[in-house]
Amino acid sequence: MPQLGFGVFQVSDDEAETAVRTALENGYRSIDTASVYRNERGTGRALRSSGVPREELFVTTKLWNSDQGYDSALRAFDASLERLGLEYVDLYLIHWPLPKRGTYLETWRAFEKLKADGRVRSIGVSNFTVETLQHILDESDAVPVLNQIELHPYFQQAGLRAFHEEHGIRTEAWAPLGQGHGLLDDPALARVAEAHGRTPAQIALRWHLQIGNIVIPKSVTPSRIAENIAVFDFELTGEEMAALGELDRGTRFGPDPATFDVTG
């Protein structure tokens, strides 16, 4: 899986087709969508018409909350695959754990079956906490390959990252650029950006890559799509990494997975 990919949250079906095409032209090979984004069709059109061989692409989609459960997860996967127009996906994720509902374990059993059937290459989770991850590790032999969680310099998730490391689970960061909530205006990022002749977004992405995160920044603006992948030809120093490490505020922008229970 490429360490840097492209996300399409809050992008319409038609916009997703254009944005994914632009991303592929700029060298991205990993695309992150979800059934709840309602853009699997546009994403699939861009993937299929790109001319990029299927084996070079890495396609992730996610099971929405209302589809949790064994049979419903299998049905929801069929529908996602049909919308994408693909024969398999590379990575399928449980979008949220919904701990109060208590259906993620039977959902995970369905994921194990999809993997055994070869229609999903890898299975993982998103927004799982230490507690819900531990439950899966206790009850299943299949370790999630990764956990996709909110993570950026303002919310660094040290505890969960250490837990992942201990159990061989990769960390994937959503909102890697802080989702437009002011992170990119932070003076500390600006200082490092100036020192390298780079943009704050590129510095934030470099920080992620150097702590080992997989990242999936989103943009529909062609110049930013190009900018966000141009981060493999420079490196932050230990001091710069330490300065960015101090930006952690310990508060998230998105919902808390321990209580988030939306199924609509």
Partners of 125 in beta bridges: 94, 147
3-state secondary structure 21-72: HHHHHCCCCEEECCHHHCCHHHHHHHHHHCCCCHHHCEEEEEECHHHCCHHH
CB of 220 to ligand NAD, least distance (A): 7
Cα–Cα dist 46/40, whole Å: 10
Nearer to ligand NAD, 70 or 260 (CB): 260
Pick between residue 8 and residue 74 the one whose CB is nearest to ligand NAD: 8
Closer to ligand NAD by Cβ: residue 127 or 157: 127
Task: Write the interaction track for ligand NAD spanning residues 105-144; mark x where CB under 6 A is met and - where it is not.
Answer: ---------------------xx-----------------
User: Given the rule CB under 6 A, which of 7-15, 64-72, 115-123, 243-251 is the region that contacts ligand NAD?
Assistant: 7-15
Question: Taking the complex as a whole, how short is the minimal distance between the CB of residue 217 and ligand NAD, in angstroms?
Answer: 4
> Please, which residue, 224 or 238, has the CB nearer to ligand NAD?
224
> What is the distance between the alpha carbons of residues 7 and 19, in angstroms, rounded to a whole number?
10
Catalytic residues: 37
Of 9, 29, 48, 211, the one binding ligand NAD (CB under 6 A) is: 9
Q: Does 186 bind ligand NAD (CB under 6 A)?
A: no
In the bound state with ligand NAD, the residue whose beta carbon lies nearer, of 103 and 147, is 147
**Contact string (CB under 6 A) for ligand NAD, positions 69-108, x = contact:** --------------------------x-------------
DSSP β-bridge partners for residue 172: 148, 214
Q: Which of 42, 69, 99, 176 binds ligand NAD (CB under 6 A)?
A: 176
Footprint of ligand NAD on this chain (CB under 6 A)? 7-9, 32, 95, 126-127, 148, 174-180, 184, 199, 201, 216-219, 224, 227-228
